[in-house]
Amino acid sequence: MSDIEKQVKSGYEDASSITSQHVNPISSPTYAFKTSTNKWQSFKDSFKRVEVEELDPNLTEAERVAIATARAPLKRHLKSRHLQMIAIGGAIGTGLFVGSGSSLRTAGPAGLLIGYGISSTFILCMICALGELAVEFPISGGFTTYATRFVDESFGFAANFNYALQWLVVLPLEIVSASITVNYWGTPKKYRDGFVALFWVVIVVINLFGVKGYGEAEFVFSIIKVTCVLGFIICGIALVCGARGNYIGGTYWQHPYGAFVGDTAGARFKGTMSVFASAAFAFAGSELVGLAAAETANPRKTLPKAAKQVFWRITIFYIASLTLVGLLVSHKDPRLIGSSSVDAAASPFVIALVSHGIKGLPSVVNVVICIAVLSVGNSAVYACSRTLSAFSEQGYAPKWMNLEYVDRAGRPIVGIAITSIFGILAFIAASEKEGEVFNWLLALSGLSSLFTWAGICLCHIRFRRALSAQGRSTNELSFCSPVGVGGSYYGLFVIILVFIAEFWVAAWPSGFKQMSPSAIAESFFETYLSLPIVLACYVGHKLYKRNWTLFIPASEMDIDTGRREVDIEQLKADIAQEKAELAAKPFYVRWYAYAC
């Protein structure tokens, strides 16, 4: 047994935790503490910190981080049904229901589909890469921790800070969105504070139930969102085919509407490029299945299915629904002009139903939009609190902040508290400056997701490089990305192109010749504020640590600590047996196993 494995094991062992010599200390961490028979006392005790043995001070920084994140005392209460619904419907939110209206207005129906279609390809590659890494390393912090282990310490710091800040900002944004959404029914503005408080309390209470509360809530929220989108698709197909007595077909793609916005090829191209920012916002959260791996009972079985189901979510819920939106709503519809992530009346889904005389359903869609923003707010607290905990475990936060504090119920309670307190910013909904504050908060999250996805692809590339450099192969992996390492290269390349395109759109927006320099600068930073923040984190950490290496050498990379399956030979035998059993089954069973 290596020194690292001994250290991990010593951190877990107590009188009751190791019951057999075959127990894997990394995969089955348990911690001893007395429980009271009194329910109130047990509830109070659940907030007490789980104590783990101090790490050996002689360990290197890389070894310390690997062990600390591998043995984080998070509860593994997420089941297969939770993870699959998070994968299928977890990322469906206001970006799809409302934000797509802005993209339709600026790019047209064809530009909308091209932007989302290209985005979906690198999202799929990223999810497959993340699935491979998360199955092998279901550790605290997930992909933000991979950045530290597989790329570079400074890159890891920037990735952690960026991801935590993204979700920290998203929480008040979504609560404000939910509070304004109720205006659809004519709710007086004076009640907005009350709705802000209501939504904030609901989100915080859900997360106080721990990962099980998050999983159950997302399971229910995702079912509602998926049902709504499927219902819209069925209704939309009927309307396009003339169910209301008026055949629509491709009317809004033809003259005088047009498939694109703009009179010149350059204007049409720029309009299409502007869709990527909206698509990034809509797809944000697709990576949450990887973050949840550390709290999943059996990631080797559930994560591959969840990763593959992302393809169907993209195809059915995004591409199909947005195709119908482009067929049912004109990009010149004046109701789209006010499109933003908080104006539910500008939702193209609602406009499509209202325009074609469907009564009742617009209110149903609006209720689902409220549920969607609650779902995203719920995910924001979950993701930010876990990222802050991993941020501290990797040594990036001051010790006095206690961000790595995990209580006996498996909740990173300090991270939950910080995220929840920041969510109180949602009370800007009652301010006259609400729009300005909202726009700048949105700018902070801006392209953050793209940085995260690029980082995941890079981590996968570096992991595969380490396997090769250390004379090992993909045969020892429980799950290999269906698109391989080539998919990660493709995803990283396309995301870099998107950054370049977005820089062009931000620096020279449509009609910039008529804009003042201050208006151009404001427009640029509202789109691209994430870039200077990430660069400042990366360069600042390099200067502070005086670490000038670009990548951790592949031959020195730790690709073992944190694995739940530590017996590689047994794992290979299990995988071979599973493949043999699957090969003996009928074709349709094998096809379903491959696709789903």
- CB-CB neighbours of 399 under 10 Å: 9
Does 187 have pLDDT greater than 80?
A: no
State residue 227's pLDDT score: 93
State residue 464's pLDDT score: 95
pLDDT (average), residues 471-488: 89
- 529 compared with 416, residue with greater pLDDT: 416
- 7 compared with 375, residue with greater pLDDT: 375
Q: Which residues contact 263 (CB under 8 A, 6 or more apart)?
A: none
- In the predicted model, what is the mean pLDDT of the chain? 82
Q: Which residues contact 36 (CB under 8 A, 6 or more apart)?
A: 42, 45
The tens digit of pLDDT for each residue in 273-318 reads 888 888 888 888 888 888 888 888 888 888 888 887 777 778 788 8
State residue 19's pLDDT score: 30
pLDDT band of 33, cuts 50, 70, 90: low
- CB-CB neighbours of 497 under 10 Å: 14
Which of 98-112, 183-197, 347-361, 415-429 is predicted least confidently? 183-197
CATH node for 75-561: 1.20.1740.10
State residue 28's pLDDT score: 44
The pLDDT > 70 percentage for the chain reads 89
CA distances (Å), origin 24, targets 12, 132, 293? 10, 21, 17
Placement of tokens 């200390």 in the chain:
25
pLDDT (average), residues 454-474: 94
What sign does the dihedral 581-586-587-589 (CA atoms) show?
A: negative
pLDDT (average), residues 122-136: 91
Both structure tokens of 480: 């290999």
Does 31 have pLDDT greater than 60?
A: no
Please name which of 514, 505, 528 lies closest in space to residue 275, comparing C-alpha atoms: 505
pLDDT (average), residues 178-197: 78
Compute the distance between CA of residue 148 and CA of residue 405 in angstroms, rounded to an integer: 20
Which of 43-52, 366-375, 381-390, 506-515 is predicted least confidently? 506-515
Which of 19-23, 235-239, 484-488 is predicted least confidently? 19-23
Q: Cis (ω within 30 of 0) for the bond into 109?
A: no
State residue 10's pLDDT score: 43
pLDDT (average), residues 522-549: 88
CA distances (Å), origin 59, targets 140, 195, 234, 488, 580? 19, 50, 59, 32, 42
pLDDT (average), residues 445-470: 92
The tens digit of pLDDT for each residue in 350-360 reads 899 988 888 88
- CB-CB neighbours of 226 under 10 Å: 17
Instruction: Report the 3 state secondary structure along 480-506.
Output: CCCCHHHHHHHHHHHHHHHHHHHHHHH
Does 425 have pLDDT greater than 50?
A: yes
State residue 154's pLDDT score: 94
- 596 compared with 390, residue with greater pLDDT: 390
Does 491 have pLDDT greater than 90?
A: yes
CB 150 within 8 A of CB 552: yes
Both structure tokens of 494: 């396309």
Query: In terms of C-beta density within 10 A (0-12 exposed, 13-18 middle, 19 or more buried), how is residue 89 classed?
Result: buried
Domain-wise residue ranges, the chain: 75-561, 566-596
State residue 420's pLDDT score: 93
Compute the distance between CA of residue 133 and CA of residue 455 in angstroms, rounded to an integer: 12
State residue 414's pLDDT score: 93
- CB-CB neighbours of 305 under 10 Å: 17
Read off the amino acid at residue 48. K
Does 338 have pLDDT greater than 60?
A: no
> DSSP per residue over 277-327, as a string?
HHHHHHHTTTTHHHHGGGGBS-HHHHHHHHHHHHHHIIIIIIIIHHHHHHH
The pLDDT > 90 percentage for the chain reads 30
Q: In the beta sheet, which residues pair with residue 296? A: 78
pTM reported for the whole predicted model: 0.88
Both structure tokens of 572: 């290979």
The 3-state DSSP class for residue 469 equals helix
pLDDT band of 216, cuts 50, 70, 90: very high
Q: In the beta sheet, which residues pair with residue 49? A: 407
Both structure tokens of 406: 């995990």
The 3-state DSSP class for residue 78 equals strand
pLDDT (average), residues 248-271: 86
The tens digit of pLDDT for each residue in 36-89 reads 567 788 878 888 888 777 777 777 777 777 778 877 778 888 888 888 888 777
Q: In the beta sheet, which residues pair with residue 84? A: none
